[in-house]
Structure 1
Amino acid sequence: MSQSSGSPIFGKRKEQPILILARGEKVHHMTVRPWMTAVGVSIGALFAVGYLASTSYLVLRDDLIGGTMARQARMQHDYEDRISALRAQVDRVTSRQLLDQQVVEEKVEKLLQQQQALTSRHGKLGSLIGRAEESGLADPGKDETETEKHADATGGIQAIERLMGLAAKTAPKGPALAYAAPFSRADARGGDTITDRADRLFSRVTHSLKDIERSQKDRIAQLTSGAINATDAIETIVARTGLSVTPDPADAEEARATGDDADIRSGGDDTGMGGPYVAPETKDVFDRQLVELDTALVRLEQVRGEVRKLPFSNPAPQSDITSQFGNRMDPFLGRLALHAGIDFRVAIGTGVRSTAPGKVVVAGRNGGYGNMVEIDHGNGVSTRYGHLSSILVNVGDVVTAGDVIGRSGSTGRSTGPHLHYEVRLHGDAVDPMRFLNAGMKLSTYID
């Protein structure tokens, strides 16, 4: 290398370093510039930094990989624990739901049995209510109300069945493996579980069924009481006339069982059967009440049937009575005599009506009666219609209550146009007014 030269004026000048390379006889030299030095230093520094960084990475890589794997393992364990907890929770919920569903099914089965029993009772009661309506004891509107209640109860049971169907659809079919929220039976609308909703429906339907059952029993008791009271009233009214329409209890029971007996008699089996009728034993309160109602209705129908055979109608409606039954001054002899009937003021030619069904036993002229018709009503009861201007029936004819049997007049021992009417029991004359008064009172129970 050469030494730097200087100037006496500007001082010593710094010479650039020269790099001389000799190889054999060849000599090369190169001036080292400052920038070359800077580049060389920079390259060296970069190499040193890269070396140190590579060495540090190689040293720390194993620790980083190990830490990452450990974190992944911990996360996997956490997920597995979470999945196990979810499975256990779903299994518990499913078990509770199955138990709840079993309880619900048992309750539904019980309600269905009650509904079937009420439906069967309603069918049995329907025929009796129909008979009671024909008898004027039942109000048809009440039966419609019972039908509406029955429909409400049926709708409640159907709602429970629909709720059970919803629970079956929402129940999980197997263990859940997905990362999901715990299964809940809570209703989205209000937080009530299906069991809570079912319990409310059960309570309402059970109350409805009990209400229907109570209403049916009350209805039966009311109809039975009404039939008994009507029968007693009819018997009391008829008894004041000297007659009795009280049926034999054994006959009433036999009449109530006529349908069953008829079925037995009409069968093809030649085996003989018989014996007195005895009411069937029953432990069910409802069935016992039905038997009592049936017996009361049969008794009422029998009494009404007997009453309709008796002369309680008016032979000359809307006509005044001019002479009562009993002793009076005879209009021809002027002395006391028995008037065996009552007289109605009617114009000649007015239609005279039969007061009860029966058979004509006399139809013609009969002494002081003039033209007379006598009708036998059975059981020793007969009626006579005297002083007719014309007779419209013949002996042997069968008439019904209200049939025109002749026309009024003034034949026989008569002072003017009128109708002479008699009622006889076993041939003895009785006061017809008792029958006419009874007829007006009986119209409330018969018509």
Structure 2
Amino acid sequence: MRQSAKLESQGQKPGRRGVHPALFYGMFALLLGGNAISATGLLMAPDIARLLGGQNELVLSAYEDRLAQMRVEIDRLHSRNYAQAGDINLQLQELSQQQEVLLEQHQLVRALVTKADQLGIAAVATPVSGDMELSMVTTHSGNPDMAATSASVTQMMTETQQAMTGIAVAASERTENIVSELSKLGIALNLPVAPLDGVGGPLLAANEGAAATSPMIEDANAVMQALMLYKAARDSLELAPVHMPITGNFRQSSGYGNRKDPFTGNRAFHSGLDFAAPSGTSVLSAADGVVSFVGERSGYGKVVEVEHGNGLMTRYAHLSGYIAQKGQKVLTGTPIAKVGSTGRSTGPHLHFEVHRADTSLDPKPFLETGKRIIAMLG
């Protein structure tokens, strides 16, 4: 303050201090030196040195080559991933199609098993589970295991196919058994004829867009045909007099053929089977048919006769009373009369005869055949 006042008193103004010239030139020298070092570093870098040396085209070309190689590798990776994804998608699509076939197959099997159950052969077939939803099998990494999943679906399809085959085999075997057993009795079954299977047409190239007939549908139709044949055979069985005409506490008191006559003691022919039973016991029709006679016949006492078709007729004699009327349609097991002791009889019993065209037949093979078939049918 004193110095400023002194300068002001001397007519001089106070001023600012400037940068010392020595310091200024020193800083400038350092700046130049740093730039020189940086320039030397740039020149020592190969790519940059080539750029500064006029070789920029080569450097750019080299970079473009590397970028091109990277693009190829990336495209290759994308292609590989895309291919893998495409395979997975394709496998999933195939599995989805297999699942649709499996579900359709299961519906067919379920319908066939239901029909078989109605006909009494469901126990032979092994129906598959109702839950047919596709369950994706995965690896330990959590990724879908297409092979295992496909194998699982294939196994399920095989099982349903085996179920259909089992139903067809069971139905066919039972049909053949019924036909064979009844043929021994001279009874020919009128089974439906298999549909005509004639095919033909010009040989043309396959049309990829055209729908193809599903082998599964054809298999299911074949199984259903086997079930229908079995049903027809079983229904025809009801027309054959192979069922017992009496139930309850009874015994066979006399057989068919020559025997000692209970009244004369001489050898005589007995045209039927006798079943000893209490008077009033229900007498049942041995098969479906139509009552053709209700009344009395000499030696038989009270009689009911039923026509069954195939030229067969059954006669029920020594009755105490009638239940059915002439012209009445009866089913197997329909009560038609009551056990009695009318006519030439030593006591209450049912005299049962089987006739074909006015000729008596031994009823025993008929009834034994019925027992075998019923045992087979369960």
Question: 1:21-420 counterparts in 2 under 5 A?
Answer: 50=23, 53-63=26-36, 66=39, 91-139=75-123, 142-145=126-129, 147-148=130-131, 150-151=132-133, 154-156=134-136, 190=141, 197-198=143-144, 200=145, 202-245=146-189, 247=191, 251-254=192-195, 277-278=196-197, 286-318=216-248, 319-420=250-351
User: Is this contact kept in 2: 1:133–1:140, CA < 8 A?
Assistant: no
What's the Cα RMSD here?
3.4
How far apart are the structure 1 equivalents of 2:264 and 2:295? 25
Deviation at 1:368, TM superposition (A): 1.3
User: Is this contact kept in 2: 1:304–1:446, CA < 8 A?
Assistant: no
User: Is this contact kept in 2: 1:252–1:298, CA < 8 A?
Assistant: no
Structure 2 counterpart of 1:252, one-letter code: V
User: Is this contact kept in 2: 1:341–1:421, CA < 8 A?
Assistant: yes
Cα deviation code 1:224-268 (max 9, x no counterpart): 222222122222222333323363xxx3325xxxxxxxxxxxxxx
Cα deviation code 1:60-107 (max 9, x no counterpart): 243366579889x97xx9xx99x9688776554333322322232222
Cα deviation code 1:415-438 (max 9, x no counterpart): 111111111112211111111111
Cα deviation code 1:387-444 (max 9, x no counterpart): 1111112111111111211111111111111111111112211111111111111112
Residue aligned with 1:245, SS:
coil
Structure 2 counterpart of 1:308, one-letter code: E
Deviation at 1:51, TM superposition (A): 5.5
Residue aligned with 1:359, SS:
strand
How far apart are the structure 2 equivalents of 1:210 and 1:360? 57
Cα deviation code 1:184-229 (max 9, x no counterpart): xxx9x85x8xxxx34x2x2122212321232233333332222222
Deviation at 1:47, TM superposition (A): 6.2
Structure 2 counterpart of 1:56, one-letter code: A
Structure-2-length-normalised TM-score: 0.75
**CA separation of 1:427/1:141 partners in 2, compared to 1, >3 Å: closer, same or farther?**
closer
Percent of aligned positions that are identical: 26
Q: Which runs of 5+ in 2 are unaligned?
A: 1-18, 49-58, 201-211
Residue matched to 1:184: none
**CA separation of 1:51/1:284 partners in 2, compared to 1, >3 Å: closer, same or farther?**
closer
Structure 2 counterpart of 1:300, one-letter code: Y
User: Is this contact kept in 1: 2:106–2:128, CA < 8 A?
Assistant: no
User: Is this contact kept in 2: 1:315–1:352, CA < 8 A?
Assistant: yes
More RCO (CA 8 Å, sep 6+): 2
How far apart are the structure 2 equivalents of 1:338 and 1:48? 163
Deviation at 1:311, TM superposition (A): 1.5
Structure 1 counterpart of 2:313, one-letter code: S
User: Is this contact kept in 2: 1:252–1:295, CA < 8 A?
Assistant: no
Deviation at 1:59, TM superposition (A): 2.8
**CA separation of 1:279/1:231 partners in 2, compared to 1, >3 Å: closer, same or farther?**
farther
Residue aligned with 1:131, SS:
helix
How far apart are the structure 1 equivalents of 2:303 and 2:224? 44
**CA separation of 1:298/1:279 partners in 2, compared to 1, >3 Å: closer, same or farther?**
farther
User: Is this contact kept in 2: 1:253–1:279, CA < 8 A?
Assistant: no
**CA separation of 1:51/1:415 partners in 2, compared to 1, >3 Å: closer, same or farther?**
closer
Deviating above 4 A after TM superposition, structure 1's stretches of 4 or more consecutive aligned residues are 46-49, 64-71, 83-92, 279-288
Cα deviation code 1:111-140 (max 9, x no counterpart): 323333333333333332322222333338
How far apart are the structure 1 equivalents of 2:198 and 2:114? 23
Q: Mean alpha-carbon deviation: is it higher for 280-289 or for 135-144?
A: 280-289
User: Is this contact kept in 1: 2:125–2:166, CA < 8 A?
Assistant: no
State the structure with more CA Rg: 1
Structure 2 counterpart of 1:234, one-letter code: I
How far apart are the structure 2 equivalents of 1:376 and 1:140? 35
- 1 or 2, which has the higher helix percentage? 1
Aligned residues: 331
